[in-house]
Structure 1
Amino acid sequence: MPIEEQERLRRWRLILGRQAAAALGLGAGESSEKRSLLSGDDERIDRALEMLYDAERSGGLGPSNPYIPRWLGDIRTYFPTPAVRVLQQDAIKKLNLKQLLLEPELLASVEVDLQLVTTLLSLKSALPERTRETARSVVRKLVEELERKLAYRLEQAVRGSLRHISRTMRPRPPDIDWDRTIRVNLKHYQREQQTIIPERLIGHLRRQRQAALRDIVLCVDQSGSMAASVVYASIFGAVLASLRAISTRMVVFDTAVVDLSEHLQDPVDLLFGAQLGGGTDINCALRYCQQIITRPRETVLVLITDLYEGGDAEQMLKRAAALVDSGVQFVCLLALSDQGTPAFHTALAERLAALGIPTFACTPELFPELMATALQRRDLNLWAAQHDIVTVRPSQS
């Protein structure tokens, strides 16, 4: 048999499984050449896939099955990391292997990804004591990976926007930024006097000790559909809280509201303080935000929710309008994730947009620039259009 034909049959055999062997001409009556298409490694790959996708015939990976550790080891050996994550997710969904996440020995061998962590966080109340530390280490691994990827960009974007905010064209002499002042006035150099006559002075506002330039409130829906957004918001909240020039609060809600601001120094503590799942009462959350906002014109409120309101929708819209009228820079993110266009309550999104509240989904990579734009009180709808982000528009009816 030509090598190309052997490879084609081998690939189809691995894709379709053992039950397709006869259809591919690989039955017991065929030549040994055909029957031996799968090598030792191929046999182990085939067995790993069969245990998951042919579970109704092979018995699957039940929680007490002693083959689970070997199966986890096999898929990590024979598949690239992205494929391993897909296989793990399918195992948890198809075979209801959430019990797998309650065993510290097995949990330690699982490939960490965002979906695994959100599943783990949703189970945290059921975690036995002996699994809790392993679970925290698994969550921390993902958090540190995402922080390395996103924290620097957020810090740089926010620091740049704060420098812009703090500039003034009427500085006191001790507060003059001589480097920038000289550069913008070079065109006024006087050759005869060999000096520059500064027509514009640029300096920094003198701030009172410990005073923040801006206040940021992250108000995050912790219902099950928003799990990925909660993870990213917790990481961003911790990074923002490390910047002295701004004051950051983090509020999570379902039908109750919990202020997790005291945990902002550690995003893992923050995540374990959230309770994924449950209902949604956005009106209650906005009422709490109204109470903690003391400087409306210096405050950015980021509401992260899919807007499936279980509370009083009309009252929620009135509170949103009152916050906008008070001067709060209010933005509604329908999702903070890279999972594509989210499902959201279209009618409520359109009514928020009619109040002048920019409403759209945002990827984690764009969030730093979004925050910089909001801190400078620039047009967020224009910013979104420049980044090809589809924003919700007010209803025409």
Structure 2
Amino acid sequence: MTPGADDPQEARRRQRWRLALGSEAAPQLGPLSGQAAEQEAVLAFLEGEGSGEGRGSSEGSGLMSVPEWISRVHTLFPQSVADRIVDDAVNRYGLTEIVTSPDALARATPNVSLLKAILATKHLMSPEVLAMARTIIDTVVRELMRTLARPVSTPFTGRRDPLRRSRHQITANFDARATVRANLKNVDPRTGRLVIREPLFTSRVRLLQQRWQVVVVVDQSGSMADSVIHAAVTAAIFSSLPSMRTHLVVFDTEVVDLSGYTGDPVEVLMRVQLGGGTNIAKALRYAEQLLQNPRRSIVVLVSDFEEGGPEGAFLRTAASLVEAGVTVLCLGALDSSGRAHYNERIGRSLAEVGAQVAVMTPDQLASWVAEVIG
């Protein structure tokens, strides 16, 4: 057994040295595991580029495309380290195809992974490549809008009324319990299966038209790329609803109000600058200034809760919002799969001051907001 193997602190120290020294140190320091192993695979990819061996040729690096590699760098390393790695990839290893080659960008398949890579490197792009990148962003955003528009907007068409039937046969209105009861007489005696001959759908009661104010406050640090993308799309859908007045605010150590662009998520993403520090208290104070009627206001904070300033100031600001009657929802993630990476200790502290802390996909967030408004 390696000396100190049972000491977690010593194990972390060995992992850091093993990562810094490379695979040749494995006999002395042992193998890498967990995130450290993933970090080594990402760095091995870069070494393959520099040595001419080609992408994916290094052991453990896997067959990654350049956009996937950039996305993984920003996921696995702190922002300052990720920026240095990408800069080195471009300036020292010649990995320029994603930021300098229109042909390479034209061959890339528009998807969320590519979009995240563009957001991480657009500050390095020439005007020609940036124009192509904007087209890719537009393609991905349109697909996300198409996928999310119905599940996000449906909860705001009104709440279901089980006493009223509807001929509007959509999934959101399907009444499963009533359908089963109404079709019990249609059980097939041979197979024992229930035959649905008359599906039933409920009507919806229109929500009150008095507008609510919703402020979506999004952490734009590098690890929050997924959340920034989906927040931009969700805010765009929210802004089209007559019952809501929607603001979109992004922040690092500074606060940028993008509310004027909520209807154009492509423009929002072109203006986002991933990276930098985190000042959540400052962002919440700004959101507080936007509110006209706190008791008809919702503040949605999307962050990993890793506050760069004093935690006390952040928590006091959240508590102040709650005490004023604002509904405060703190999300650890806002992507399509609901993955979350956030400081659970601070999450518990936020819950203690009255904020609601959750992990939600965009459609779940929409349903939650509709419940508050309804």
Interval of TM-score (by shorter of Structure 1 and Structure 2):
0.5 to 0.7
Please report how far the alpha carbon of residue 55 of structure 1 lies from its aligned counterpart in structure 2 after TM superposition: 5.9
Which residue matches 1:101?
98
1:109–1:355 Cα change, 3 Å = same
- After TM superposition, list the pairs within 5 Å mapping 1:176-195 onto structure 2: none
SS at match of 1:108: helix
Which residue matches 2:368?
370
Please report how far the alpha carbon of residue 370 of structure 1 lies from its aligned counterpart in structure 2 after TM superposition: 2.4
Aligned length: 262
Which residue matches 2:54?
60
- After TM superposition, list the pairs within 5 Å mapping 1:75-224 onto structure 2: 87-90=65-68, 92=70, 96=89, 99-102=96-99, 103-160=101-158, 212-224=210-222
What TM-score, normalized to structure 2?
Answer: 0.64
Q: Is 1:311 aligned with 2:301?
A: no
SS at match of 1:251: strand
Please report how far the alpha carbon of residue 115 of structure 1 lies from its aligned counterpart in structure 2 after TM superposition: 2.1
Q: Is 1:332 aligned with 2:322?
A: no
Which residue matches 2:81?
none
Residues in 1 aligned to 2:54 and 2:274: alpha-carbon distance in whole angstroms: 28
Write the letter of the residue equivalent to 1:59: E
Cα deviation 1:186-215 (Å, max 9, x = unaligned): xxxxxxxxxxxxxxxxx98997xxxx5211
Write the letter of the residue equivalent to 1:141: T
1:278–1:108 Cα change, 3 Å = same
1:88–1:111 Cα change, 3 Å = farther
Residues in 1 aligned to 2:285 and 2:109: alpha-carbon distance in whole angstroms: 40
Which residue matches 2:5?
none
Write the letter of the residue equivalent to 1:101: I
SS at match of 1:335: coil
Contact kept? 1:300, 1:375, Cα under 8 Å: no
Which residue matches 1:349?
347
Residues in 2 aligned to 1:145 and 1:226: alpha-carbon distance in whole angstroms: 20
Residues in 2 aligned to 1:52 and 1:343: alpha-carbon distance in whole angstroms: 26
Please report how far the alpha carbon of residue 349 of structure 1 lies from its aligned counterpart in structure 2 after TM superposition: 0.8
Please report how far the alpha carbon of residue 317 of structure 1 lies from its aligned counterpart in structure 2 after TM superposition: 0.7
Contact kept? 1:223, 1:277, Cα under 8 Å: yes
Residues in 1 aligned to 2:122 and 2:340: alpha-carbon distance in whole angstroms: 25
Write the letter of the residue equivalent to 1:235: V
Write the letter of the residue equivalent to 1:294: Q
SS at match of 2:305: coil
Which residue matches 2:269?
271
Please report how far the alpha carbon of residue 107 of structure 1 lies from its aligned counterpart in structure 2 after TM superposition: 0.6
Specify every segment of 5 or more residues in structure 2 that has no aligned partner in the other structure, as ranges: 1-44, 57-61, 74-85, 162-204
Residues in 2 aligned to 1:256 and 1:368: alpha-carbon distance in whole angstroms: 27
1:317–1:107 Cα change, 3 Å = same
Which residue matches 2:182?
none
1:296–1:277 Cα change, 3 Å = same
Please report how far the alpha carbon of residue 335 of structure 1 lies from its aligned counterpart in structure 2 after TM superposition: 0.8
Residues in 2 aligned to 1:341 and 1:144: alpha-carbon distance in whole angstroms: 22
What TM-score, normalized to structure 1?
Answer: 0.60
Percent identity of the aligned residues? 34
Pick the aligned partner of 1:358 from 334, 348, 356: 356
Cα deviation 1:72-118 (Å, max 9, x = unaligned): xxxxxxxxxxx99x545455569947622222221111012212211
Which residue matches 1:245?
243
Write the letter of the residue equivalent to 1:351: S
- Please give the root-mean-square deviation of Cα atoms over the aligned residues, in Å: 2.9
Write the letter of the residue equivalent to 1:335: A
Please report how far the alpha carbon of residue 261 of structure 1 lies from its aligned counterpart in structure 2 after TM superposition: 0.5
Specify every segment of 5 or more residues in structure 1 that has no aligned partner in the other structure, as ranges: 1-50, 63-82, 165-202, 377-397
Residues in 1 aligned to 2:67 and 2:308: alpha-carbon distance in whole angstroms: 29
1:57–1:321 Cα change, 3 Å = closer
